[in-house]
């Protein structure tokens, strides 16, 4: 499985209004970019529509469940406010690149600072990590 953003401009412009035309133009871009020998080895090509902000928010929930699972293994809890979830969704939302920027945003604004704080022993076993957003940043505290 591999992904590409070839044709993403077309997908964004047509916005799901004409799936047949969108597929035709995307396939045109794919054929212009990849050699026939390569395309002949591809079993199937799927075209994904642009993700909405609501879908990105659902992906935020999935990402946070993974973080929570990792924290539970360290006997820590996780509490994330709606403001923090909205912040993460907006920070990682890019209609052209889909969910990829979201994963990087979660890493940069949540996981990296959390890892630093865990290494500095700011959270102890049994604590709940509370994540909120204010003034354009995430705030980590004991909940």
Separation between Cα atoms, residue 143 and residue 131, nearest integer Å: 9
Q: Would you mind telling me the total number of residues written for the chain in this entry?
A: 143
| Residue 107 DSSP one-character state | I
Q: Is 0.85 topped by the overall pTM?
A: no
Task: Kindly indicate whether the domain formed by 53-142 is annotated with CATH number 1.10.8.60.
Answer: yes
- The SS3 of residue 108 is helix
Separation between Cα atoms, residue 94 and residue 37, nearest integer Å: 32
Q: Is the Cα dihedral 57, 62, 65, 66 positive or negative?
A: negative
**pLDDT tens-digit readout, 88-143:** 999 998 877 778 899 999 999 999 999 999 999 999 999 999 999 999 999 999 98
Question: Are the C-beta atoms of 68 and 128 separated by less than 8 Å?
Answer: no
Question: Are the C-beta atoms of 139 and 131 separated by less than 8 Å?
Answer: yes
Mean pLDDT of the chain: 91
pLDDT confidence tier of residue 87, bands split at 50, 70 and 90: very high
- CATH 1.10.8.60 occupies which residues in the chain? 53-142
Q: Please state the rounded mean pLDDT for residues 74-83.
A: 98
Residue 84 pLDDT > 80: yes
Separation between Cα atoms, residue 6 and residue 27, nearest integer Å: 9
- pLDDT > 90 in the chain, percent: 65
């Amino acid at each position: 499985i591999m992904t590409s953003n070839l044709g993403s401009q077309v997908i964004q412009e047509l916005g799901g209004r004409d799936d047949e035309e969108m597929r035709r133009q995307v396939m045109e871009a794919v054929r212009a970019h990849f050699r026939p020998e390569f395309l002949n080895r591809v079993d199937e090509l799927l075209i994904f529509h642009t993700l909405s902000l609501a879908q990105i928010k659902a992906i935020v929930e999935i990402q946070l469940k993974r973080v929570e699972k990792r924290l539970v293994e360290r006997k820590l809890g996780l509490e994330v406010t709606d403001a923090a979830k909205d912040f993460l969704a907006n920070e990682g939302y890019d209609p052209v690149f889909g969910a990829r920027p979201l994963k990087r945003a979660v890493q940069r604004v949540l996981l990296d600072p959390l890892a630093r704080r865990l290494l500095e022993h700011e959270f102890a076993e049994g604590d709940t990590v509370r994540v909120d957003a204010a003034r354009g940043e995430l705030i980590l505290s004991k909940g």
